[in-house]
């Protein structure tokens, strides 16, 4: 079931010594979405440079990360352990530059420091720089602390609730639907495990289907799908006869792709709209 929601980007920033803490923040965000996104009509999208930054040229690396991450974010979580990070040419570290830029842009910024035991190979210079930066931040606001990933997850939820109350987003507007029946066809595929070979190795198959969505404001009655060019190597599966695709509804039609077909696989959609037969051909290859 689809629903309309506000979408907020949440950037996770830290030096390289806190991979578990970064994971904990992301998992907390996903957990909040599962528990609240539908009833609160709000979805949080975590953003981490190592997973989401797009490789590109044209500026210094930190500036490109800023453009993709900080500039597009609504909330920033910054984490520190025993390191401050490397200088960027504009700030004493990348994470510090992200914090300062986010603060300048009026983002909701939450900074947390780990209280976990220091590693045996701690870099003393990095530790000293981090503590100096922490002391400087104390005059600018309230800093958070955490000892375990679970405690950090709790802090993330608390901060998210605070931010949403401050933002007061209200109800998201429902996008206007196109007039009449408007069918969107998107080919989908998924790799599935079939079993194990005689040598114990996993064997896979690929499942294909057509995802058909009615984006219009009217129901597509007496809806059917047929192959428009049988020589192209496309076979429809699971065809149970005419159905209805209500406005905003989605139907999946299984398909089989065979080798040696000629031409581009094309399907013909047929339906009744305002008492009249309609059709539309779509290339799906």
pLDDT tens string 105-128: 999 999 999 999 999 999 999 999
284: pLDDT strictly greater than 80: no
Classify residue 172 by its DSSP letter. Answer: P
Nearest residue to 16 via CA among 156, 153, 146, 130: 130
CB 256 within 8 A of CB 235: yes
Helix H or strand E encompassing 35: helix 19-40
pTM over 0.85: no
In this prediction, what percent of the chain has a pLDDT beyond 90? 62
1: pLDDT strictly greater than 70: no
Contacts 24+ apart (CB under 8 A), 238-246: 244/219, 244/220, 245/183, 245/212, 245/214, 245/219, 245/220, 245/271, 246/214, 246/219
279 SS3 class:
strand
Q: What is the pLDDT of residue 239?
A: 63
pLDDT-based confidence at 235, cuts 50/70/90?
Answer: confident
Q: Which domains does the chain have, with CATH numbers?
A: 6-167 (3.40.50), 183-283 (2.60.40.1230)
Mean pLDDT of the chain: 90
Q: What is the pLDDT of residue 248?
A: 84
201: pLDDT strictly greater than 90: no
Buried b (16+ CB within 10 A) or exposed e, 217-246: ebbbbebbbebbbeebbbeeeeeeeeeebe
Cα–Cα–Cα angle for 169, 102, 138, rounded to 5 degrees: 105
For helices 19-40 and 149-167, give the axis angle rounded to 10 degrees. 40
Q: What is the pLDDT of residue 9?
A: 96
Nearest residue to 156 via CA among 17, 18, 22: 22
What is the average per-residue pLDDT within 239-246? 82
Q: What is the pLDDT of residue 285?
A: 63
CB 160 within 8 A of CB 43: no
What is the average per-residue pLDDT within 117-140? 94
pLDDT tens string 144-174: 999 999 999 999 999 999 999 999 888 776 6
pLDDT tens string 3-60: 789 999 999 999 999 999 999 999 999 999 999 998 899 999 999 999 999 999 999 9
Contacts 24+ apart (CB under 8 A), 256-261: 256/208, 257/208, 257/233, 258/233, 258/234, 259/233, 260/233, 261/231, 261/232, 261/233, 261/234
State the Cα–Cα distance between residues 183 and 273, nearest whole angstrom: 12
237: pLDDT strictly greater than 90: no
175: pLDDT strictly greater than 70: no
Alpha helix (H) residue ranges in 148-204: 149-167
């Amino acid at each position: 079931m689809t629903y309309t929601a506000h979408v907020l980007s949440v950037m996770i920033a830290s030096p390289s010594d806190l991979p578990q803490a970064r994971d904990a923040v992301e998992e907390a965000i996903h957990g909040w979405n599962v528990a609240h996104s539908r009833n609160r009509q709000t979805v949080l999208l975590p953003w981490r440079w190592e997973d989401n930054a797009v490789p590109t040229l044209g500026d210094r690396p930190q500036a490109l990360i800023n453009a993709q991450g900080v500039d597009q974010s609504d909330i920033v979580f910054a984490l520190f352990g025993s390191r401050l990070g490397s200088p960027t040419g504009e700030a004493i570290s990348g994470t510090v530059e992200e914090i300062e830029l986010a603060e300048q842009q009026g983002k909701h910024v939450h900074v947390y420091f780990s209280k976990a035991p220091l590693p045996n190979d701690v870099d003393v210079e990095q530790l000293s720089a981090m503590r100096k930066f922490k002391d400087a931040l104390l005059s600018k606001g309230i800093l958070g602390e955490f000892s375990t990933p679970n405690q950090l997850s709790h802090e993330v939820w608390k901060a998210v609730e605070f931010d949403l109350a401050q933002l007061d987003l209200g109800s998201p507007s429902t996008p206007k639907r196109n007039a009449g029946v408007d069918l969107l066809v998107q080919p989908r595929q998924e790799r599935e495990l079939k079993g194990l070979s005689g040598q114990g190795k996993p064997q896979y198959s690929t499942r294909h289907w057509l995802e058909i969505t009615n984006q219009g404001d009217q129901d597509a009655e007496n809806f059917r799908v047929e192959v428009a060019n049988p020589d192209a190597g496309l076979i429809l599966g699971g065809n149970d006869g005419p159905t209805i695709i209500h406005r905003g509804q989605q139907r999946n039609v299984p398909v089989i792709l065979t080798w040696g077909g000629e031409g581009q696989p094309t399907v013909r959609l047929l339906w009744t709209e305002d008492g009249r037969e309609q059709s539309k051909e779509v290339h799906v290859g």
